[in-house]
Amino acid sequence: DGGITQSPKYLFRKEGQNVTLSCEQNLNHDAMYWYRQDPGQGLRLIYYSQIVNDFQKGDIAEGYSVSREKKESFPLTVTSAQKNPTAFYLCASSGTGAISPLHFGNGTRLTVT
Amino acid sequence: SQQGEEDPQALSIQEGENATMNCSYKTSINNLQWYRQNSGRGLVHLILIRSNEREKHSGRLRVTLDTSKKSSSLLITASRAADTASYFCATALANQAGTALIFGKGTTLSVSS
């Protein structure tokens, strides 16, 4: 089955530690995205990548980093510089073009204490 | 930047009734998309309407777009308990190829049997 896999589903970390969230897709999509969702809120864009080895900052990129070394993979690192990292993180992919809908993974819930 | 705003924030109806959600946005768009999110899951694409379209149907869903008012509505007819979810509108900005979708904060729909 084609889709997007995010792992793990739940992640717990101590404050001050970096943590990497995994996102893999087998849809052969060129574009991939990371969004953050806080309770009762919409999605806010962290980073996106239209092609391998290239990515752009979204609205809330501070404290996050990404890499896009392979078409299938777009890992997100939440660094210790992110002031409020506890949130639900969603990865998505799409074909290129403005009319391509997004396909989402089922998210990773990160709790930092 | 929050482009879309859904209204109402929450909606409670009985099975069989229709549900209408509205979305307003600020700048010119290429297209507008509606997504559904079940609690704790990723988003699922429902329907896309292009800026030169006024109405679109898909099963029990009807979407309208009024670019002069910068607004869209999603109508779910004959609702079912399984329609209980959050619904988000997302916009693709005009003349900005290669940018990501911008999501609103969503409408939480509760359908009781």
Give dist(CA B86, CA B104) in Å, integer: 11
* CB–CB contact B88 A42 (8 Å): yes
- Judged against a pLDDT cut of 60, whether residue B1 lies above it is answered with no
Q: For residue A109, give every residue at least 6 positions away whose Cβ sits within 8 Å of its Cβ, in sequence order, or none.
A: A9, A10, A11, A87, A88, A89, B40
Cβ atoms of A99 and A90 within 8 Å: the answer is: no
Cβ–Cβ contact B88 with A under 8 A: yes
Spell out which residues of chain B touch residue A88, defining contact as CB-CB under 8 Å. Answer: 40
Q: Which pLDDT score is estimated for A113?
A: 93
Query: For the segment B63-78, what is each residue's pLDDT rounded down to a tens digit?
Result: 999 999 999 999 999 9
pLDDT tens, residue order, chain A (113 aa): 569 999 999 999 999 999 999 999 999 999 999 999 998 778 999 999 999 999 999 989 999 999 999 999 999 999 999 999 999 999 999 987 777 899 999 999 999 99
**Which of B41, B97, B102 is the closest to A98 by Cβ?**
B97
Local structure of residue B81 (DSSP, 8 states): G
